[in-house]
Amino acid sequence: MKQSAERLLERELRSFAETHPRSRALSERARSSLLAGVPMQWMLRWAGGFPVYAEKAWAARFRDVDGIEYVDFCLGDTGAMTGHSPEPVVRAVAEQLGRGITLMLPSEDALWVGEELTRRFGVSRWQFALTATDANRFAIRLARLVTGRPKVLVFNWCYHGTVDETFATLRGDAVVERDGNIGPPVPLDETTRVVEWNDVQGLERALAHGDVACVLAEPALTNIGIVPAEPGYHDALRSLTRKYETLLVIDETHTLCAGPGGYTAAHGLEPDVLTVGKAIGSGIPSAAYGFTEEVAARIGGTIAVDDSDVGGVGGTLAANVLSLAAMRATLTHVLTDEAFERMIGLGRRFEEGVASVIAEQSLPWHVTRLGCRVEYLFRPERPRNGSEAAEGQDHLLDRLIHLYALNRGVLLTPFHNMALMSPATSEADVDRHTEVFAAAAAELVA
Ligand SMILES: Cc1ncc(COP(=O)(O)O)c(C=O)c1O
């Protein structure tokens, strides 16, 4: 299969270059003003050798500067899980734009959003940020404050944004920095403990040191492919964090795909702190982090108000009125209970389509789904933890499938084979992906 993948990749690269002359010209021009020719380094990861330049995005589609239209399953890597520019959010944001953007004063929307997030997620004392990275950073700082402990525990191959403490991985039993970690401020074993997902004994051993302020966890790993929690794992995670008096921070930024209250509500989790970002403002920079009453009471009074502007938590533009208006409109009109029902149904259809192709061609691959997020991995069984998932990555096949799909008007996320359903995605969009995936699989095995 490797040989046919290499051959197909060459063909697809030629075809991509031929059909995207304007994107290519813009990429060449960008080299003289942007570092490495892109506004953000991740944009170098797109499979065609240069990124597609978008001219316009709407609903679950976009058109590029060469006039080609795409079905978008990447959806800004979850930032646009709402669909692009949903009308009620555009309206609310446009109205707010005419009434002020940022003041360092609260608006009534903040109260509404706090109340709604409490209804959805259970934790009840909220703060706002502009990115999920910041929500996680601030949650960690406050966890250190209330526990008086220095360390954070994360799971091997997790991703929680550009949070310094989280770029740690295991080499044997040693905590080391991940490959590619740029300019780490201190060695990672000073700040972080790392254990494998689904390893209850390893978790207990790490927590027993008594120096972990918080466990920061996605309720299923999503950033090394989806790695679900095994039955009973969340119960163990909760009871061990309680036993060792470590706060449990659940990061719902991606697992919001599991339902209106994320995985937490869908599976009855009881985090001490919950963080969420990306989609909750339809892509207008927005994030939130919330605490239980009990943790809020422990924080209460420990932050000196006179110093709170330089305490390392917050930001000038955090909780600005535009961001809050976007969150309110998104939660009221777009990411509703009914929308999730539809999106999850489409996720099932996507999963069934991929599974049928895998079965028809007897491929040693599998497909997995979490709510409206679906992903296929080029290994036969589901991985149990981050290490198994990392070992199962196949960069050649990833790149080929991405480019094959892109050349046929279907966009997947650049990092792995992940597809998200939005309220604007249709059954025809899903079926188009199945058709393209079937064609790629047939060519690969021919
Ligand atoms: C689970 C999780 N948390 C947090 C983040 C950080 O989000 P942002 O890059 O918007 O700060 C990401 C980004 O991919 C994520 O996957």
How do residues 16-25 score in pLDDT, each as one tens digit? 999 999 999 9
Ligand 1 centre and the CA of 163: distance in Å? 9
* Minimum mean pLDDT range among 146-155, 255-264, 385-394: 385-394
Ligand 1 centre and the CA of 141: distance in Å? 17
Nearest one of 60, 57, 26 to 43, comparing CA atoms: 26
In this model, does residue 28 exceed pLDDT 90? yes
Q: Please choose from 77, 154, 159, 276 the residue to mutate so as to test ligand 1's pocket, defined by most ligand atoms within 8 A of CB.
A: 159
CA distance 265 to 34: 42
pTM: predicted TM-score of the whole model, two decimal places? 0.97
In this model, does residue 415 exceed pLDDT 80? no
CA distance 104 to 278: 22
Average pLDDT, the chain: 96
How do residues 177-215 score in pLDDT, each as one tens digit? 999 999 999 999 999 999 999 999 999 999 999 999 999
Q: Is-contact 433 71, C-beta < 8 A?
A: yes
State how beta strands 125-129 and 69-72 pair.
unpaired
Report whether residue 133 contacts ligand 1, using a CB cutoff of 6 Å. yes
Q: Is-contact 253 292, C-beta < 8 A?
A: no
C-alpha atoms less than 13 angstroms from C-alpha of 287 in its C-beta half-sphere: 29
395 φ/ψ angles, rounded to the nearest 5 degrees: -65, -35
Residue carrying structure tokens 């060695």 = 187
Q: How far is it between the farthest Cα atoms of the chain?
A: 70
Task: Pick the residue whose CA is nearest to atom 3 on ligand 1.
Answer: 160
Task: Pick the residue whose CA is nearest to atom 13 on ligand 1.
Answer: 161
For residues 246-257, average pLDDT: 98
Alpha-carbon torsion 144, 283, 88, 427, what sign? Answer: negative
Single-letter code of the amino acid located at 35: L
In this model, does residue 104 exceed pLDDT 90? yes
Report whether residue 161 contacts ligand 1, using a CB cutoff of 6 Å. yes
In this model, does residue 375 exceed pLDDT 80? yes
Report whether residue 278 contacts ligand 1, using a CB cutoff of 6 Å. yes
Q: Please choose from 278, 280, 282, 373 the residue to mutate so as to test ligand 1's pocket, defined by most ligand atoms within 8 A of CB.
A: 278
| pLDDT recorded at residue 306 | 86
Residue 61, C-beta contacts closer than 8 angstroms, at least 6 positions apart: 69, 70, 71, 72, 84
Residue 190, C-beta contacts closer than 8 angstroms, at least 6 positions apart: none
Tokens of residue 195, six digits: 């254990």
CA distance 289 to 219: 16
Report whether residue 277 contacts ligand 1, using a CB cutoff of 6 Å. yes
For residues 26-44, average pLDDT: 95
Tokens of residue 409, six digits: 């008007």
How do residues 277-316 score in pLDDT, each as one tens digit? 999 999 999 999 999 999 999 998 888 888 888 889 999 9
* Minimum mean pLDDT range among 100-114, 200-214, 380-394: 380-394
Report whether residue 252 contacts ligand 1, using a CB cutoff of 6 Å. no
Residue 73, C-beta contacts closer than 8 angstroms, at least 6 positions apart: 60, 410, 411, 412, 413, 418, 419, 420, 421, 425, 429, 433
Ligand 1 centre and the CA of 270: distance in Å? 21
Confidence of residue 117 (pLDDT cuts 50, 70, 90): very high
359 φ/ψ angles, rounded to the nearest 5 degrees: -70, -45
In this model, does residue 34 exceed pLDDT 80? yes
Task: Pick the residue whose CA is nearest to atom 5 on ligand 1.
Answer: 161
Confidence of residue 359 (pLDDT cuts 50, 70, 90): very high
Of all residues in the chain, what percent carry a pLDDT higher than 90?
94
Query: Ligand 1: which atom is nearest the Cα of residue 134?
Result: 11
Nearest one of 297, 146, 287, 296 to 214, comparing CA atoms: 146
